[in-house]
Amino acid sequence: MTLTEITNDLVADLDGLTFEPPVTHVYNPLIYAREAWDMYCEKYGQGRREVLLLGMNPGPWGFARANEAEAA
């Protein structure tokens, strides 16, 4: 499977998740940061890899949200 296919499967699998109160908002970075993720995969995800390490930046302007903060 390609990283794009894996990502598409993850997005579909996570789409049905629901949460009970007190959870009011859920952000899925595979949706709101998809463009940045796809660019990362294109640049660094080519070829055979044994491990792909990922992480999200902590704080209110986490993964791929810096542009939104600057625009505000």
All residues at 6 or more sequence positions from 52 whose CB lies less than 8 Å from its CB, including other chains: 3, 45
- For residue 58, the model assigns a pLDDT of 56
Q: Find all residues with CB under 8 Å of 14, minimum gap 6, and list them.
A: 28, 30
Whether 32 contacts 64, CB under 8 Å: yes
Q: 10 Å Cβ neighbour count for 32?
A: 14
Task: Quote the number of domains for the chain.
Answer: 1
Give the CA count within 13 Å in the CB-facing half-sphere of 38.
8
Which residues span the domain enclosing 36?
A: 3-71
pLDDT tens for the chain, 72 residues long, are 888 998 999 899 988 888 999 988 887 878 888 998 899 888 888 888 787 666 666 556 665 555 554 555
pTM exceeds cut of 0.75: no
